[in-house]
Amino acid sequence: MAEGSIATAPSPGAPSVDEEVFFGFTRPQAAAFLALVVIVVASPFVIYPFFLMKLLCFALFACAFNLLIGYVGLLSFGHAAYFGMGAYVSGYAAKEWGVTPEVAILLGGATGALLGIPFGWLAIRRTGIYFAMITLALAQMVYFFCVQAPFTGGEDGIQAIPRRSLFGVFSLDSDFAMYWVVAGVFLGGFLLIHRVVHSPFGQVLKAIRDNEPRAISLGYRTDDYKLMAFVLSAGIAGLAGAVKALAMKIATLTDVLWTMSGEVVLMSLVGGLGTIFGPVAGAAFIVTMQTYLAEFGAWVLVIQGVIFIAAVLAFRRGLVGEVGHLLKVKL
Amino acid sequence: MEDLLFEIQLAMPQVVLGVINGAFYALLSLGLAVIFGMLNVINFAHGAQFTLGAFVAWMLLSWLGVGYWPALILAPLIVGAIGVAMERTMIARLYRIDHLYGLLLTFGCALVIEGLLRNSFGSSGQRYAPPREFAALDLELGDFFLPGYRVWVLIAASTVCLATWLIIEKTKVGSYLRAATERPQLVQAFGINVPLMMTLTYGAGVALAAFAGVLAAPIYSVSPAMGANFIITVFAVVVIGGMGSIAGSIVTGFMLGLIQGITEVFWPEASQTVVFVIMAVVLLTRPAGLFGRA
């Protein structure tokens, strides 16, 4: 990989604990994952579940984004399209068709994936900066579509989305009950991405990231791999949006706007691009910041911009990447 | 025949509006192309710098009483100087690493600029009245009326685009620039200060954006979001044209504005998205862009 490439995973000097012990996790990663599970399970007893749900939805969204930039080396600047459309479709299905939450969530994920097929097919024709601009432009097209399409409710969005009962049995009216669904989807999505990245398929993705011509010369149809990764990423982003729509009971134009695409880039960058836990840490950091600074209005924009600049100039490894570098482990 | 004439008369305002939009696309994508050619950075802050140009003109007028004509020169100089400072302090540190970091950094800068403007002036637009003397340029053809200021925008934008193209393609400075774009080390070895050229190029590109901003101020309301609305479409324009040639970005900009205007007549709902659809078609047939080199 070229020196200073954006997807450079933190390179610990000859790690002694690199063998994978379970589910593709190395020993330190497994420890970190168990810690994550404990935090996810314990925190609703301490922290306001509504806030936690928001955090986990964005964490999953950031993980989906990170799958592309971290393991395929493609920076998408249009992931809001899949997130936002996932939110709209699941919100609409839950409100207007009266489907149960699990169906609404799956519909949202399917929407993201379906949208990812043509968009990914177009975008993977270029790489690098062009890929970023193309994904951004395509997402803007989705935004304009959502502004005009009647089912999105225009400026008002879809409000008061009912959560109903999981499988028609367990009522999700309370935030505490809904939290477990969000946590389940988050952990499921997190493990899915991790499993994919550490499968033979994931190895090919990393080969493409590091040296695409060589991967082609070895006989891999790299475009197929890139498209599959793109669709998977878009699908999980749609899933995150769908869960968000049910948890927050609202789907609006903000979810499809380009600023949302920028936010997910920021979360992954702050946490650490190409690290497994980075997007989660970054999402936690940014969502917390937004919540506490909400009263300062447009200053949030300025602070986010400053964090962006600082992250690019001073700590490109991100929070988790820096910790991993200090401890000489890959997180 | 009568009907057709009538149709054309009805369509004219939209088409002209499209061409004026195209003039802004051309100015903005030209600046992006100049910066990208030299620095290999996609300047995401371009839209914010366009907005900043409009706001500087507005501030000059409402705070200092400095009118439109001086602002047309001063605002690009001021914003260009800010650009030079940005390049020296931040962007210059990123040349050795992945170009995507330049995109992310300038995106951060765009957020800072837009946020600061929002804090100071709110989200709603400020009015910037065009000088009176443009009434002399008013065009009236039957029922069709084109305000003189818009005629001026077309003239000014075309002139600046042409001048930039001439400077880059026909002058000695331009030849240095083109050489440094192709082989920076070699040009440096000839004793030309390439880092200084990069700084000035960025400043010039940013000044072009600010110039477009001043031109736009009397047409659109001066608001913090005005640049963001433009820049994403301009990115699509850049992808369509390909960043290989200066002339290409100018032609593509005007052409897409025109197409957008025509679409507005026949299918208004699609006018916002038509540029992105064209982008998709171009990607399928000529992935490097119409004027791009693969």
Residue B92 lies in a domain: yes
Predicted local confidence at residue B2, as pLDDT: 64
Residue segments in chain A with a per-residue pLDDT below the cut of 50 = 1-3, 9-17
CB A239 within 8 A of CB A114: no
CB A284 within 8 A of CB A54: no
At B73-105, the pLDDT tens digits run: 999 999 999 999 999 999 988 888 888 889 899
Q: Nearest CA to CA, how far is A286 from chain B (Å)? A: 14
Is the pLDDT confidence value at B140 over 80? no
CB B176 within 8 A of CB B197: yes
Residue B85 lies in a domain: yes
Residue B192 lies in a domain: yes
Predicted local confidence at residue B293, as pLDDT: 67
CB B220 within 8 A of CB B226: yes
Residue B53 lies in a domain: yes
State how many domains chain B has. Answer: 1
Domain that holds residue B141: 15-118+133-285
Predicted local confidence at residue A15, as pLDDT: 45
Who contacts A251 (Cβ-Cβ below 8 Å, separation ≥6)? A84, A87, A88, A90, A91, A92, A152, A157, A158, A161, A241, A244, A245
Residue B224 lies in a domain: yes
Contacting residues of B for A300, CB less than 8 Å apart? 115
At B6-61, the pLDDT tens digits run: 777 777 778 888 899 899 999 999 999 889 888 888 899 999 999 999 999 999 98
Task: Report how far residue B194's alpha carbon sits from residue B181's, in angstroms, rounded to the nearest whole number.
Answer: 10
Closest in A125, A306, A308 to B104, CB measured = A308
Please choose, from the candidates A54, A53, A119, A55, the residue with its C-alpha nearest in 3D space to the C-alpha of residue A81. Answer: A119
Q: Assign residue B292 a region: left if phi > 0, alpha if psi is -120 to 50, beta otherwise?
A: beta
Predicted local confidence at residue B99, as pLDDT: 83
Who contacts B270 (Cβ-Cβ below 8 Å, separation ≥6)? B263, B277
Task: Report how far residue A70's alpha carbon sits from residue A7's, in angstroms, rounded to the nearest whole number.
Answer: 5
Question: Does the distance separating the beta carbons of B111 and A138 come in below 8 Å?
Answer: no
Contacting residues of B for A209, CB less than 8 Å apart? none
Contacting residues of B for A316, CB less than 8 Å apart? 97, 101
* Mean confidence (pLDDT) of chain B: 87
Residue B148 lies in a domain: yes
Predicted local confidence at residue A20, as pLDDT: 67
| Number of C-beta neighbours around residue A36 at 10 A | 18
Domains of chain A: 22-327 (1.10.3470)
Question: Does the distance separating the beta carbons of A299 and B236 come in below 8 Å?
Answer: no
**pTM for the whole structure:** 0.88
Task: Report how far residue A312's alpha carbon sits from residue B95's, in angstroms, rounded to the nearest whole number.
Answer: 12
Question: Does the distance separating the beta carbons of A305 and B119 come in below 8 Å?
Answer: no
**Chain B residue at shortest CA distance from A148:** B269
SS3 content of chain A, % helix, strand, coil (to 5): 70, 5, 25
**Chain A residue at shortest CA distance from B91:** A313
Q: Nearest CA to CA, how far is B288 from chain A (Å)? A: 8
Q: Model ipTM? A: 0.85
Q: Nearest CA to CA, how far is A3 from chain B (Å)? A: 7
Which of A129, A227, A257, A313 should be substituted to probe chain B, the one whose Cβ sees the most B Cβ atoms within 10 Å? A129
Who contacts B69 (Cβ-Cβ below 8 Å, separation ≥6)? B131
Here the CATH number for the domain that contains residue B174 is: 1.10.3470
Question: Does the distance separating the beta carbons of B280 and A122 come in below 8 Å?
Answer: yes
Residue B204 lies in a domain: yes
At B225-279, the pLDDT tens digits run: 888 878 888 988 888 888 777 888 899 999 999 999 888 888 888 888 898 889 8
Who contacts A135 (Cβ-Cβ below 8 Å, separation ≥6)? A76, A77, A78, A79, A119, A123, A261
**Chain B residue at shortest CA distance from A273:** B101
Task: Report how far residue B246's alpha carbon sits from residue A213's, in angstroms, rounded to the nearest whole number.
Answer: 30
Please choose, from the candidates A107, A80, A75, the residue with its C-alpha nearest in 3D space to the C-alpha of residue A94. Answer: A107
Closest in A5, A126, A262 to B98, CB measured = A5
